[in-house]
Structure 1
């Protein structure tokens, strides 16, 4: 049935043309924008995912800038630490030269002062955009990542860079500042309890070797005394020799050893007194008796009253002259813990920084005491090879001084180069203590440079990763929303042909009712 009111063919052709035009418009939009999903109406799920990823890309671009800034800041600190190490090495060379007494120490001290000033200038200038990592102790966090969980929660991650204080300040003492008593960390070696103090005396320590017997010696009977690894012997040449004969012969032989800082004397008819003024070294003493025959003689040769019988050896030791202050192995050191040694009523202190050990504390306290330049006072740090326990030895070659110790928290950390300002090589004592202390400072600056080098490497690696991650995320977003231009081009040509055909089809359909007019002629 034909109708002039309803042209079904035209309606079908018109709908086809509309669909073709719509598809053609979409393809033209893809070609012009380069995106297959340009808005939420194109594909809401894909569009939402792409927008989240695009926001992450913008965040990671900001993180990349943060990492670049942090890397530059750490690089400045590393370069400063390395330069400080070089200058400290130069100072060490000057200090070594000052050990000779026939050099111009005043000129050497002038050179050291100039090098110290250069170190201070470098430490003060080692900042990037106002941030200086070689001053202070607070950690610095560099934004390094945004971590998105499966639930959509986003958290920021940071790379923590520890400041390495290369300042020379003494910090502040925690004692009396309302802190906590930490005196249990300073131990008496014998009792294992809190150090109760002592006297720094120049008088040497002694051992008394006593000779006693119930009968005279037989020919061939002998006694050997070993002192500090060297030995002397007496052998009876005839029967009925007295202990006085043995003592006098052994005394003469001992004195001939000419041991450094060791003297020998007799104080009774049958005693030899061994006196050691060695500051930081104990002196081993041993005595051995050998009886030639079974005559029943009994020899009671003693060291400080401890007896030895026939064919046996009695051993002992003369303690070092220095007082030794031990630090506990049962606790750690916290930043702000302050350790104090009072000599002759005047206190000298060191306040620990972050991540320091008791070895650092011992060396810091040594520097504090050495920097005071107390006449006759010398120090040495000792680390027990088996237990790792640190101790500070304090010796006195002058007049007697009282020694007391204390430890409290609540202080402000001393600088990593604490004691540098106090180096003075114009005296024998100053030159000697400076040589040990400069080693500690050089190690501090080396450790600082190494720490910054490690941090810089980590920041660089993270920066490279973030750059790669940004590229990967951009590629992923493109995969989701970018148009396939080859496909779009082919579709465009096909749709253009379809459009032409649909137009012609609609034209033919619109002409169909014209045939009805011929029925009315």
Structure 2
């Protein structure tokens, strides 16, 4: 049935042409923008995902810049700490040379001062964009990642780089919580008093009876010619003094042989054995002030007193410990991540830096318990001796004591040799820490770069247009558009054909 009111063919042709034009417009948009989804109306879910990922890409590009800045800053600090290590190693060579008595120590000291000034210059100059990682104690955070959780929340992750203070600052002793219980002094005074062991020869001796006294691993033998025990004691006294052992002397009182030791940091082993036909005896009856003994061997204590540090207490930044010798006190304030070993060595440097006459120090660790101790010897008149501690201070610089190294005297050269090892260890530790941080930053930067590329690739797979398919589709739609136009034109001619029925 033909109708002049309704042209079904034209309506079908029009709808077809509209659909073709819509598809053609979308295809042209894909070709011009390069995206198959360029707005939310095309596919809201995919568009939303792509926009979130694009924001992450922009964030990671900023993180790459942050990592580059951080890597450069740490590289400067690593270079500085390695340079300081080299300079301290050179200084050690000078200090070793100063141990000889026939060298010009004043000229060596001049070289040491020059090296020390160069170290100070390196510490001051080791900054990048105003940030110096070898001065101060505050950690530095470098933005390293943006972590997106499944619920959409985003948190920033940082690589924390610990500053390694290479300054010579003394620090500030705190007034916080008492730490006195973490250190114990072995005595209330340090003095040049010798420690002793007394060997008593007694009972009845006869000719050809023998005795052996061992001192510092050296055996001394005596064969009796009579019964007098004083002869035995006198013989060993003369023999021991004749050995010329440093810090070791012997004296006699009746049949008692007293062996005295003023060795600062070394015990003295003694032993006695006798072989008699009668009842002759030889025993250690007094050792280090303790009498009424019956020993065949023992150790005479070292003269030095000590501060024994806790094996369980933690060391926190700002924890200060103070050793009092006589009327003066010497302190060290711990930095981040330090231990009782660092405290003991820091106090040693503080005491040595004061240049005290007759006072020498040594740091040791007990091989069985792991306990660290600071030993202090006084070759002068008696001085009070104590240890205390308080939290809440400002940490001492990692190279504290460097400014006080003085090899112009034999005592100064001796103490400098121990202390330079501590300073070198500090510089090596700083260089190692910076090297580790530098490696981590480089690894993270490489990962962020690859992650950014992966995100970009993922976004592309979601929204980018397939240009080969779009090109083929464009040509097909252009042909369809021409045919649709022709079909609509033909359909529009149908009402004209009805007129022929009324002619």
Same fold (TM over 0.5): yes
Deviation larger for 101-110 or 425-434: 101-110
Contact persistence 2:318–2:393 (CA under 8 A): yes
Residue aligned with 2:137, SS: coil
TM-score by length of 2: 0.96
1:232 is matched with 220
Q: Does 1:187 align with 2:176?
A: no
Deviations 1:345-398 (A, max 9, x none): 111111111111111111100000000001111111111122211101111122
The answer for the alignment partner of 1:415 in structure 2 is 397
Per the TM alignment, residue 443 of structure 1 is displaced from its structure 2 partner at its CA by 0.6
TM-fit CA distance, 1:300: 5.4
SS at match of 1:440: helix
Segment drifting more, 282-291 vs 413-422: 282-291
Distance in 1 between residues matched to 2:502 and 2:283, nearest whole Å = 159
Aligned length: 499
Alignment partner for residue 254 of structure 1, among 235, 240, 259? 240
Q: Could you tell me how far 1:458 is from its partner in structure 2?
A: 0.4
Residue 510 (1) aligns with residue 472 (2): no
| Rounded Cα–Cα distance in structure 1 between residues aligned with 2:442 and 2:90 | 31
Return the match for 1:285 from 270, 283, 294: 270
Q: In structure 2, what is the equivalent of residue 156 of structure 1? A: 156
Structure 2 equivalent of residue 192 of structure 1:
none
1:332 match: secondary structure = coil
Q: Residues 43-69 of structure 1, C-alpha deviation per residue, up to 9 Å, x if partnerless?
A: 001111111111111111111111111
- On the 8 A contact 2:348/2:374 being kept in 1, the answer is yes
Alignment of 1:168-247 (within 5 A): 168-174=168-174, 177=175, 179-188=176-185, 197-213=187-203, 215-217=204-206, 219-236=207-224, 241-247=227-233
Q: Deviations over 1:181-225 (max 9, x none)?
A: 111111245xxxxxxx52221222111111111x333x5432211
Q: Deviations over 1:222-253 (max 9, x none)?
A: 2211111111122335xx62212322233333
> Deviation digits for residues 79-104 of structure 1, max 9, x if unmatched?
00001111111111111111122222
Q: Which residue of 2 aligns with 1:468?
A: 450
Of the candidates 337, 340, 348, which is equivalent to residue 358 of structure 1?
A: 340
**Matched position secondary structure for 1:407:** strand
Equivalences for 1:291-440 in 2 at 5 Å? 291-292=276-277, 297=279, 299=281, 301-304=283-286, 305-308=291-294, 314-440=296-422
What secondary structure is seen at the aligned counterpart in 2 of 1:211? Answer: strand
- Tell whether the 8 Å contact from 2:344 to 2:372 is kept in structure 1 after alignment: yes
Deviation of 1:411 after TM superposition, in Å, equals 1.4
Question: Structure 1: how far apart are the matches of 2:38 and 2:283?
Answer: 105
SS of residue matched to 1:72: helix
In the TM superposition, what are the counterparts of 1:110-189 in structure 2 within 5 Å?
A: 110-174=110-174, 177=175, 179-188=176-185
Q: For structure 1, list consecutive stretches of 5 or more residues without a partner in the other structure.
A: 190-196
Q: How many Å apart are 1:144 and its aligned residue?
A: 0.7
Cα contact 2:273–2:282 (8 A) shared by 1: no
Change (3 A) 1:502 1:269: same
Q: What are the Cα deviations for residues 145-192 of structure 1, in whole angstroms up to 9, with x where unaligned?
A: 111111111111111110000000101122xx3x11111111245xxx
Matched with 1:443 is 425
**Which SS does the other structure have where 2:79 is aligned?**
helix
Q: Which moved more, 1:222-231 or 1:481-490?
A: 222-231
2:66 is aligned to 66
CA contact (8 A) 2:304 2:376 kept: yes
Report Cα offsets for 1:256-311 as digits up to 9, x if no partner.
32222111111x2201111111110011111122345xx5x262533314554xxx
How large is the Cα RMSD of the aligned pairs? 1.5
**C-alpha distance in 2, partners of 1:258/1:99?**
23
Are 1:264 and 2:250 matched, yes or no? yes
Rounded to whole Å, the distance in 1 between the matches of 2:235 and 2:379 is 31
Structure 2 Cα separation of the partners of residues 407 and 85 of structure 1: 31
